[in-house]
Protein backbone atom coordinates (compact mmCIF):
# COMPACT_ATOMS: atom_id res chain seq x y z
CA UNK A 1 0.00 0.00 0.00
CA UNK A 2 1.30 3.42 -0.84
CA UNK A 3 2.02 5.83 1.99
CA UNK A 4 0.31 9.10 2.73
CA UNK A 5 -2.78 10.07 4.67
CA UNK A 6 -4.94 7.48 2.92
CA UNK A 7 -2.70 4.66 4.19
CA UNK A 8 -4.27 4.96 7.66
CA UNK A 9 -7.85 4.87 6.42
CA UNK A 10 -9.56 1.52 6.80
CA UNK A 11 -10.50 -0.42 3.69
CA UNK A 12 -13.69 -2.49 4.03
CA UNK A 13 -13.97 -5.67 1.96
CA UNK A 14 -16.36 -8.55 1.46
CA UNK A 15 -16.23 -11.84 -0.40
CA UNK A 16 -18.87 -14.56 -0.30
CA UNK A 17 -19.69 -14.93 3.41
CA UNK A 18 -16.64 -13.08 4.76
CA UNK A 19 -16.15 -9.41 5.58
CA UNK A 20 -12.80 -7.81 6.26
CA UNK A 21 -11.05 -4.63 7.27
CA UNK A 22 -7.56 -3.66 6.14
CA UNK A 23 -5.59 -0.84 7.74
CA UNK A 24 -1.87 -0.04 7.66
CA UNK A 25 -1.08 -3.33 5.91
CA UNK A 26 -2.92 -5.43 8.51
CA UNK A 27 -6.02 -7.39 7.55
CA UNK A 28 -8.66 -9.02 9.72
CA UNK A 29 -11.23 -11.32 8.11
CA UNK A 30 -14.50 -12.06 9.91
CA UNK A 31 -16.14 -15.25 8.70
CA UNK A 32 -19.03 -17.53 9.45
CA UNK A 33 -19.05 -19.43 12.72
CA UNK A 34 -17.11 -16.63 14.46
CA UNK A 35 -13.99 -17.45 12.42
CA UNK A 36 -11.38 -14.69 12.51
CA UNK A 37 -8.21 -14.61 10.41
CA UNK A 38 -5.37 -12.16 10.99
CA UNK A 39 -3.04 -11.34 8.12
CA UNK A 40 -0.37 -8.86 7.09
CA UNK A 41 0.16 -7.59 3.55
CA UNK A 42 3.72 -7.44 2.22
CA UNK A 43 3.65 -4.61 -0.32
CA UNK A 44 6.99 -5.56 -1.86
CA UNK A 45 6.05 -9.20 -2.47
CA UNK A 46 2.27 -8.72 -2.86
CA UNK A 47 1.63 -11.52 -0.36
CA UNK A 48 -0.53 -12.05 2.69
CA UNK A 49 0.90 -13.90 5.68
CA UNK A 50 -0.75 -15.02 8.91
CA UNK A 51 -0.03 -12.91 11.99
CA UNK A 52 -0.79 -13.12 15.71
CA UNK A 53 -4.25 -11.88 16.70
CA UNK A 54 -4.83 -8.11 16.62
CA UNK A 55 -7.85 -7.71 18.85
CA UNK A 56 -8.05 -3.94 18.39
CA UNK A 57 -8.31 -4.37 14.61
CA UNK A 58 -10.90 -7.14 15.07
CA UNK A 59 -12.98 -4.89 17.31
CA UNK A 60 -12.71 -2.00 14.83
CA UNK A 61 -13.92 -4.25 12.00
CA UNK A 62 -16.81 -5.54 14.11
CA UNK A 63 -17.80 -1.97 15.01
CA UNK A 64 -17.86 -0.83 11.38
CA UNK A 65 -20.00 -3.75 10.25
CA UNK A 66 -22.32 -3.63 13.27
CA UNK A 67 -22.99 0.06 12.68
CA UNK A 68 -23.64 -0.51 8.97
CA UNK A 69 -26.00 -3.40 9.78
CA UNK A 70 -27.87 -1.32 12.36
CA UNK A 71 -28.22 1.74 10.12
CA UNK A 72 -29.29 -0.34 7.14
CA UNK A 73 -31.94 -2.04 9.27
CA UNK A 74 -33.17 1.32 10.59
CA UNK A 75 -33.25 2.85 7.13
CA UNK A 76 -30.73 5.52 8.16
CA UNK A 77 -27.78 4.17 6.16
CA UNK A 78 -26.63 6.74 3.57
The tens digit of pLDDT for each residue in 40-72 reads 999 999 999 999 999 999 999 999 998 887 888
Residue 8 clears pLDDT 90, i.e. is over it: no
Report pLDDT digits (tens) over 20-30. Answer: 999 999 999 99
Query: What is the C-alpha separation between 62 and 58, in angstroms, rounded?
Result: 6
Q: Which long-range contacts (CB under 8 A, 24 or more apart) does 26-34 make?
A: 26/51, 26/54, 26/57, 28/54, 28/57, 28/58, 28/61, 30/58, 30/61, 30/62, 30/65
Looking at per-residue pLDDT, the higher value among 74 and 7 belongs to 74
Spatial CB neighbours of 71, under 8 Å, sequence gap ≥ 6 = 77, 78
Average pLDDT for residues 3-16, to the nearest whole number? 80
Q: How many domains does the chain have?
A: 1
Range of the domain at 17: 5-74
Amino acid sequence: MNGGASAHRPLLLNHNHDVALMQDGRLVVLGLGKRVDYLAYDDARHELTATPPDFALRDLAAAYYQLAYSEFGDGTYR
